[in-house]
Copies of this chain bind each other. A is one copy, B any other.
Amino acid sequence: MTGTRETKAPKRHATPKADKPARPITIHDVARHAGVGSMTVSRVIRGAANVSPAMREKVEAAVSVLNYQVNVAARATRSQSTAARIGILYSNPSASYLSEIMVGGLEQSSKMAGHLLLERCEGLAGQQAAVERLLASGVDGVILPPPLCDSRPTINRLLAEGVTVLALATARPMDDVSCVRIDDYAGALAMTRRLVALGHRDIAFIKGDPLHTPTEVRFEGFLAGMAEAGIAIRDDWVAEGLFTYRSGLAAAETLLDGAARPTAIFASNDDMAAAALAVAHGRQIAVPRDLTVCGFDDTAVATTVWPELTTIHQPIAAMGRTAVALIAEEIRARKAGDAPAPNHHLMKFTLIERGSSGPVPER
């Protein structure tokens, strides 16, 4: 929660305007004001090509004077042949990344007069039922956030019905499906390099859920970074996790109670890194003085714990926006009769250094 400090005195607000503008501004108001036909206005606001600069200018002026806003609903009715009905099928509504995906996606889809449908599913059976509901409501495309982004059965069912699919934040792009993602390999490599640059050589790694595609890819990035630095991997410093806090607890306990203790723990997501922090705390190991801990994803927990986590930031909201834009374009192309190739869109990640990492402790 953000602290918003403000005057407590509830000063009486001005007399409320009883009547809001009775009728919203339409394309015709703009046309009249600009002295052109409504079609010209329609062309300008859509960004169509065939408009003379003079006309365009007049219309744009009128739009800004009148503070005209397109009525997306009306637009949708008519261009319904082009407007997309896009579903987001999610399984974990409390996952902190979901709100950001939705914020981004919704922003984009309302800009584009698209229609966003949210469908939730629980478990495997629920997944099938949710897909059928989505299908029944006539979606043109479905965005799959993790972990559904890697569910081949779901994807196949959707594709079989001619629905466009986009896998969001998968680590392994598929040939027949578009995706928006970061480079998990490069992210893990960058983090490993940073740890090495801080002087760490005794670096432990906590792997994620073996069923999720980022798990292996991030581990490979870590291995590459270690190999590059000429550091051998110790089996007892590679712990298995499941991306959950609880699994991170167990993994970190193993790592910190072993015969030799690493100077850094690279957990392959933030939840597990937060758990490592708690375990270190329990062992009276000061972070980052005696131990560096870092995570991956930059979800809410990264800035909730103390010290805050050094981690790899995924631009989740932007990924949501991009996903909606891409899938809408693909749907449009498909409706126009094209057979667009799946688009694999890579976004930039950022290594964010916060309080949980520091130079290797002196011996």
Contacts and interface: CB of A to CB of B under 8 A. Distances in A.
A245 B106 contact: no
Given A3-B147, A304-B271, A160 B13 contact: yes
Interface stretch (A55-63, A96-104, A232-240, A345-353): A96-104
Interface stretch (A70-78, A180-188, A197-205): A70-78
B281 A3 contact: no
A76 B2 CA distance: 35
Contacts of A354: none
Contact of A160 (B8, B14, B245): B14
A301 interface: yes
Contacts of A363: none
A284 interface: yes
A107 interface: yes
Contacts of A2: 91-92, 122, 147
A338 interface: no
A124 B5 contact: yes
Contact of A212 (B1, B122, B124): B1
Q: How many copies of this protein are present in the complex?
A: 2
B243 A151 contact: no
A243 B211 contact: no
Interface in A257-289: 271, 274-275, 277-279, 281-282, 284
A122 to B, nearest CB: 8
A138 B24 contact: yes
A98 B99 contact: yes
Interface stretch (A33-41, A43-51, A113-121): A113-121
A321 to B, nearest CB: 12
Given A3-B242, A4-B127, A69-B138, 13 more contacts: A1-B92, A1-B244, A4-B91, A5-B211, A73-B76, A73-B115, A76-B76, A93-B317, A96-B300, A102-B102, A103-B120, A245-B304, A277-B278
Interface of A: 1-8, 10-11, 13-14, 16-20, 24, 67, 69, 71-74, 76-77, 80, 83, 91-96, 98-100, 102-103, 106-107, 110, 113, 115-118, 120, 122, 124, 127, 136-138, 140, 146-148, 151-153, 156-157, 159-162, 209, 211-212, 242-246, 249, 271, 274-275, 277-279, 281-282, 284, 299-301, 303-306, 317
